[in-house]
Amino acid sequence: MNTPRDLLIIALEVASDRPPGRGDLSLALAGAELIDLLEARAARLRDEYVVPGDNRAVGERLLDEASASLARQEPFETIEDWLWRRGRGLADVYLTALGSEGLITQQRRFRRLPFVTGRTVPADTPARRSALERWTADEPVLATLGAAVGIRDEPPEGAPEVADEVADEAVATVLDAVHDALRDLEAERQKRSIEQAAFDNVWRGP
């Protein structure tokens, strides 16, 4: 199972009308990596800290890079610190990786203009079909991450959260941390927007 790869494939597959921001997607991908590392026993949680697990190699290049980047001695990183550090530019890293593996392609926009390409879409591969199977089955981790970045509708008010279906407490903790980081990112965007508007008003004058 490769949750970050599946998340990016789904984001490219279903998010043509409302694609997630690169920053949001990068944070979610970092969370997806950490969840896979936990399940592979390459990492574990000690309270809110990420500590190395029993295994270093997961068998997938980017996940192995993520595992190798774990702090091996105290002070360990908090989950929040991991998300912000590992998530920096991670969406672009995964886009490049999927492109090199032939898992994504450029959709042609006009048949008569073969050199004009449209948006990036998943290629018809077993990886795409596997990701779609998880998505259509409402697999809790992928569904929760998809909702977090806005490519899946949130459950109606009063309905149980998808994250509640996650039996693994450590995985649920990571999902909560992803939500918190995304809220912080949105708050920072709003702050900068307000500051920019105030700056523009000063220069515009009365």
Which residue is associated with the tokens 């993520």?
66
Which residue is associated with the tokens 């077993």?
126
Instruction: Report the chain's mean pLDDT, rounded to a whole number.
Output: 83
Q: Note the pLDDT tens digit of each residue in 79-109.
A: 999 999 999 999 999 999 999 999 988 875 5
Taking CA atoms, 146 is separated from 47, 127, 142, in Å, by: 25, 17, 6
In a 3-state reduction of DSSP, which class is residue 161?
coil
Whole-model pTM: value is: 0.83
CA–CA distance, 16 with 85 (Å, rounded to integer) = 28
Q: Note the pLDDT tens digit of each residue in 27-86.
A: 999 999 999 999 999 999 998 999 999 877 888 999 999 999 999 888 899 999 999 999
Q: Could you check whether the bond before residue 75 is cis, i.e. omega within 30 degrees of 0?
A: yes
Which is more confidently placed, 182 or 1? 182
Average pLDDT over residues 181-199: 73
CA–CA distance, 200 with 49 (Å, rounded to integer) = 42
CA angle 18–20–22, rounded 5-degree value? 145
196: CB partners within 8 A, 6+ apart: none
Q: Is 84:64 a contact under the CB 8 Å cutoff?
A: no
Look up residue 21 and give its amino acid.
G
Please give the backbone phi and psi of residue 190, each rounded to the nearest 5 degrees, phi first: -65, -40
CA–CA distance, 64 with 83 (Å, rounded to integer) = 16
Comparing CA positions, the residue from 128, 166, 130 lying closest to residue 147 is: 166
Look up residue 72 and give its amino acid.
R
Taking CA atoms, 34 is separated from 76, 97, 105, 108, in Å, by: 14, 18, 27, 35
Count other Cβ atoms within 10 Å, centred on residue 146. 25
Q: Note the pLDDT tens digit of each residue in 116-165.
A: 445 788 999 999 999 999 999 989 899 999 999 988 876 544 444 555 55
CA–CA distance, 137 with 118 (Å, rounded to integer) = 29
